[in-house]
């Protein structure tokens, strides 16, 4: 991928039950080049899979700094990164209610990966016909099916 170009990353997570079998997917696009990544976990939550999708998408970019436009249908991920995380870190990874932040290890990993790149965090409503969001949703569900043997 051309380092001077903006890399678009589209992410989604899925879960059958919450908790239950989960899947994640990330579509990376730079110019005409696309890469689709996906994976699954036997027991997870939807929020964990949404975070994992963003983590895997950014991790796939390597350590060279890139301009990234990451689109998620998860307000949990977008607001967590753009608004809540700064306060969580300042409060010793505690929420405003003073309880421990859920999924802290994933948030810390996402924070470290995002710090390498210049990331613009975008949100799109899920299941609203946005092609890339529909593709990663399907891929996340396909990953669950493959793990379950279906």
What pLDDT, in 10s, does the model give residues 40-76?
999 999 999 999 999 999 999 998 889 999 999 999 9
Could you tell me where the beta strands, DSSP code E, fall in the chain?
Answer: 6-15, 20-30, 33-44, 67-72, 118-123
Give the whole-angstrom CA distance, residue 148 versus residue 150: 6
pLDDT on residue 53: 98
Question: Which stretches within 6-130 are classed as H helix?
Answer: 46-59, 75-79, 85-90, 104-116
Q: Which domains does the chain have, with CATH numbers?
A: 6-148 (3.30.420.10)
The catalytic residues are: 12-13, 50, 73, 127, 137
Q: CA-CA distance, 80 to 112, in Å (whole number)?
A: 14
What confidence score (pLDDT) does residue 63 get?
85
**Which residues of the chain, if any, have pLDDT below 50?**
1-3
pLDDT at 80: 97
Q: What is the pLDDT at residue 135?
A: 98
Paired tokens of 130: 């946005």
Q: What is the pLDDT of residue 116?
A: 94
State the pLDDT at residue 150.
73
């Amino acid at each position: 991928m051309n380092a001077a170009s903006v890399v678009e990353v589209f992410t989604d997570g899925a879960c059958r039950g919450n908790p239950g079998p989960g899947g994640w997917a990330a579509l990376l696009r730079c110019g005409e080049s696309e890469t689709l990544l996906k994976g699954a976990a036997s027991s997870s939550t939807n929020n964990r899979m949404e975070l994992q999708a963003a983590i895997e998408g950014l991790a796939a970019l390597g350590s060279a700094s890139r301009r990234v436009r990451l689109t998620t249908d998860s307000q949990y991920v977008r607001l967590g990164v753009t608004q809540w995380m700064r306060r969580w870190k300042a409060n010793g990874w505690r929420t405003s209610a003073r309880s421990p932040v859920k999924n802290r290890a994933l948030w810390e990993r996402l924070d470290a990966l995002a710090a390498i790149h210049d990331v613009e965090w975008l949100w799109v409503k899920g299941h609203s016909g946005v092609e890339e969001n529909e593709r990663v949703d399907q891929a996340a569900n396909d990953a669950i099916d493959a793990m379950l043997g279906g």
